[in-house]
Each structure stands twice: as structure tokens, then as C-alpha cells.
Homo-oligomer: A and B are copies of this chain.
Amino acid sequence: MNILKSIRKQMILDGIDYYLVDTFDPHGSEYICDYYKLRQYFSGFTGSNGLLLVCKEKAYLWTDGRYFVQAAKELYKGISLMKMGEKGVPTVREFIKNTVRRGESIGLDGMLISSDFGAFISEVCKNKKADLRTDINYAVSLWQDRPAISYTKAFVLEEKYTGLSASKKIGQVRKAIGKDSLFVSKLDDIMWLTNLRGNDIECNPCCYSYLLLDKDNCYIYLNKTAVNPAVKKYLEKQGITLREYSKVEESLKEYVEMANGCIRFDKASLNYKLFQTIDESGKGKAEASIIEGMKAVKNKTEIKNLTEAYVYDSVAVTRFIKYIKEHAADGLTELDAAAYIDKLRGKLPGFIELSFPTISAYDANAAMMHYEATEDNYSVIKPEGMLLVDSGGQYKTGTTDVTRTIVMGKISDQVKKDYTLSVCGMLRLMNAVFMKGCSGRNLDILSRGPLWRKGTDYKCGTGHGIGFCLNVHEGPHRIGWQKARNGMEPALVAGMIVSDEPGVYIEGEYGIRIENILLVTKAMSTPDGDFLRFKPLTLVPIDLEAIDTKYMSSEDIEYLNEYHKLVRGKISPFLNKSEQKWLENATKYV
């Protein structure tokens, strides 16, 4: 492939032996905008996780199990696929450690790699007496048709949505950091703190920005084109000083030199270049994001808004299910289905955009957790099997996320069994009552238990946090049985919201996922302590055509009937007569 040749030509000119390109924007965002998709451009591989290492003779791409098939198809000739987690395949870190020799040179862009990984490579280079250059970005010279970066207009999410002014939130953070300073690079943390929103990354209502806070000052770094006079005035009023986004490095450097206390930062989202700026001063203090913990606990106003958003959103999804089932035999495609539900959502009050590209996966496609139908590659829905639809919206009143797997016609008994057990797991977690202090690690088995009993496991977490008109995936809490890589295990706290999405994925056959979003609420306080429980925000019927009660306990059946009663009660008032009749039947007692 030409591009590798061009890269190697540049490498020779620069005296670089290894050119490393990760999947990382300067803020460690989960969704990367096209401008930062260097790894994709240089390797051909379009998946969401991958690292490219171009050596003098060879080139390698590391990715995980979700993408082995896809990467093998897409990778340019001359790039070897490194299957992460497979036996005998070294990790990127092992590879670098074992390969780099004395006197060699590694090139990368320090803004496009995490502080943690950068520090590792730097350490290796130091030990090997190799050279690390962090100013190498061949997209500048080699990516001819590189898309422009978008700096959209920032807007203010009013207090009637957020429940708390930016200045009050800033006050809370100041209280937590005392005399220290805090440098924030994670976009949704900055958006939450300032009550600003933007549209720089699709599906994430964020502006590219940094924020620097201490007891006296609060600086936000935004691109000048992003700020209109109203926002400028708003920032002033909230006590936030505007600075230029592109000047962050020098501004930070200057600040760090003068600072008295520690500069706290979140290692996971900080890029290596800015990490170095802080680290060189010796004043840096890595910690788990303080803001993430505050943002995760929704306030009363947010909860009121969210509850409403989920009702509207659930009405749309319910209507979609009715539609798609009634048109099972009409030759619709996965794309048609996605377009239909997207259109329904688009009409809802406060709708901004989707919270992620709708997953509409028919039959075997649904076995791929991150399948995306495209114009070049989609299936036609037939009146048999199932359609999995995982979708959500960004509203001023919150962010939604919901999955239903919908029966389109005949399904096998095995599918019914897997479907029913997934539903039982979802319901058991949803109905848990648990002691204050429990984390998602304590609860996960409720959701996974019915499937584990038959030797089935889904290879992902059970649940993630969700932003408020922000990112659809948000920490710090989660539901899963394994220890988190960062060793953190935050307890579930009243006001958090979390997804509950067990499923079954049989490669080449079918995929099932049933996802409700739950709000953590107080259950009761007794002499034995404080107890919490969940309240479902999602109110969408579960397809009874795939339920076989012989796989359910009396408790499971009770949970299902109670949930469907709730759905009926909340959703019916928004439906017309014939829709109500349909819902009545879709939520009948089993």
C-alpha cells in the first residue's frame, strides 16, 4: 500500500524507526471525530479500537476480539493483525519493550496518546537509551483530504434542565480541591461543570475544550469560533474566564510554573503532551476525576427531566416496535428500521441528536455487539427471526439508551430459552434491593445468573452510567462482576443512573439484548441500615412472543407482569386507541 511507503519515506527523513498511531483524541474521548481518525486513515481499519505501529520493514495493528474478522478484511496489505488477548500475541507494551533497541527512535504525536501509555514508552526509551519524539504527526503532510475539525457553536443548557448553575458546581469542586488546582481535559466533565453544550463530536453534545480551576480562577479554553456574545456574557456571569483553545499548552505551562499547590488531573483522559507539561513541574497529582463522581449523581431537577425524557423516548420506541412487527413481511431493511425509529425520536420535545448511531441488527448480525448496518452492507428483514435495535437520543432533558430485541416471525425454542433467561436476568437486577455501599460488582450476578446456570455468558459488562444530555457512556460506576482495570469500585448511590443489559450472542446465528435504564433510589432505612433499589426509567414492552414461562420462576413472572403493568400505565396515555389496544396485548399478564 502506498500510504505505508509514504510513511516510511518520512520516517527515514526524520530518522524514526517506529511510528505509532493510537486511537485517541487530545481529550481521551470515547467517540473520535473524523479529523482525529489517523489510525483509520493509515491502516484502513475502521473499528473503534486499534493501534498501528509502523516499523522499518513491518507494520502491526492491535485490536480486540470484537474486530478480528473486520480488521482482517479491512487492513491494508503489509499490516499484520495482532489479536489482543490471543495466546502468544504480545501486547503493544510487551512488543515495544522487547523490540526497541538502543539508539533507535520512536515517533508519535504526544497530543494523540494517553498520558499513561506515553509515560510507559518514555520509560522504555529511557531504559533502552532510545529516543522518543512526541512531535511526529504524518497526517499533516500525508493526509491530503483530511476532514476539517469542527468547532461548533457552544450553547448554554439552562438551569431548568441542569438544576444547578455552573458557578455553584464550580463552588462544589473548589471545596473538594481546597488549595490545589485542577486541570480538566475530559470534555463531558467540562460540559457538566460549565453547563455548556456543543456538537463537535457526533452524538456527544460537547465542545472541544480544556478547563483549569483553582480557588480564585476558572479558565475555559474554547476555540474562538465556538463562542458567540451570549455565551461570552454567560461565562463572565458564572465567573469563568475565556481563553483560546489552541493556546492551552503554553497557557498551562505558564500557570504550572507559577502555581503554589498541586495540579490535580485525571490520568485516563489527559494526553501525554499536556501530562508532560504538568509532570515536569513536579506539582502534578494524578487522581480519579472528581467531576466524574459528582456528574454521575443526578440532582432532583435532572431526575425529573430524565424521567420525562424516558417516557417520551419509550413512547417512540413502543410505536416503533408496533410498526416494525406489523411490517415484518414488507421487505424493510435494517437501515429502513433505523431510519424509522430515528425519525420518531427526531420529533420528540427537546431532541438534539441521537446519543449514538442506532444499531439495527437483523438475525445473525445481532450476534456482533457493535454491528452497524451501512449503505454497502445491510440485511433485509424477513418475517422470521429477530431484529435487535439499540438506540437513544440526546434531549435537553437527558440522554436515553434502550435496547429491545423484537420477534419478526418464527423463532426456535433455543432462542426463546435464551431470550427468556436474558429477560429474567434483566428483571432480577432491576428488582434488586441492596445495602448502601454495594457496588455493581456485588449485583452483577443477579443479571448474569440465569444465563450462567446454562453455561452462557456475555462478554461485556452488564451496565454503564449515562450522562445528562451528555455521553451515553459515563463513569465512574458500572455493573460487572470483574475488577475494574483501574482498581476503582465506586458504590452505587441514590441519583445514579445505570443500564441493565444482559444478552446472548451466538456467532453466525442470533443476538439478544434487553436493556433498561435504571435510576438508583432509596428503598428504606431500618435499624439494619440504609437500603437502595432501582426504578426503571425505560418503559418499553418486552416481546412476549419470545417469552416461555417454563424458564421463569414465579418471582420472574411477577416481575415481568409488574413491569408491563407499569409500562401500560405510563405509556398508554400518549397513544391513540388502536395503539393502546396493541399495547394492552403486548403487555398482557403471562
Residues of chain B with a CB closer than 8 A to A526's CB: 455-456
Bound Cα distance from A526 to B489, whole angstroms? 29
**Which among B442, B453, B525 is the interface contact of A445 at CB below 8 angstroms?**
B442
- Asked if B445 and A531 make an inter-chain contact with CB atoms under 8 angstroms apart, the answer reads no
Residue of B nearest to A507 (CB): B527
Bound Cα distance from A432 to B452, whole angstroms? 9
- Also in contact, A524 and B455, with CB within 8 A (given A554-B553, A555-B555): yes
Interface of A is mostly: mixed
Residues of chain B with a CB closer than 8 A to A483's CB: 489
How many residues of chain A are within 8 Å of chain B by beta carbon? Answer: 35
**Which among B445, B525, B555 is the interface contact of A443 at CB below 8 angstroms?**
B445
Bound Cα distance from A481 to B441, whole angstroms? 9
| A529 at the binding interface (Cβ < 8 Å) | yes
Residues of chain B with a CB closer than 8 A to A434's CB: 445, 449, 452
| A96 at the binding interface (Cβ < 8 Å) | no
CB contact list, A428-450 vs B, under 8 A: 432-435, 437-438, 441-446, 448-449
- Asked if B442 and A457 make an inter-chain contact with CB atoms under 8 angstroms apart, the answer reads no
- Also in contact, A433 and B446, with CB within 8 A (given A553-B553, A553-B555): no
| A528 at the binding interface (Cβ < 8 Å) | yes
- Also in contact, A528 and B432, with CB within 8 A (given A445-B442, A446-B445, A482-B437): no
Minimum CB–CB distance from A184 to chain B (whole Å) comes to 29
CB contact list, A521-561 vs B, under 8 A: 523-526, 528-529, 531, 553-556
- Also in contact, A457 and B529, with CB within 8 A (given A432-B449, A438-B481, A446-B445): yes
Minimum CB–CB distance from A466 to chain B (whole Å) comes to 23
Bound Cα distance from A455 to B532, whole angstroms? 10
Residues of chain B with a CB closer than 8 A to A452's CB: 433-435, 531
- Asked if A528 and B437 make an inter-chain contact with CB atoms under 8 angstroms apart, the answer reads no
Interface residue ranges, A against B (CB under 8 Å): 432-435, 437-438, 441-446, 448-449, 452-453, 455-457, 459, 481-483, 489, 523-526, 528-529, 531, 553-556
Question: Can you pick out 30 interface pairs between chain A and chain B where the beta carbons lie within 8 Å of each other?
Answer: A432-B445, A433-B455, A434-B445, A434-B452, A435-B448, A435-B452, A435-B457, A435-B481, A437-B482, A438-B445, A441-B441, A442-B442, A442-B444, A442-B445, A443-B445, A445-B445, A446-B449, A452-B531, A455-B524, A455-B526, A455-B528, A455-B531, A456-B526, A457-B528, A553-B553, A553-B554, A553-B555, A553-B556, A554-B554, A555-B555
Known contacts A438-B445, A441-B442; can you find 7 more A-B pairs with CB under 8 A?
A: A435-B448, A435-B452, A442-B444, A455-B523, A455-B524, A456-B526, A553-B556
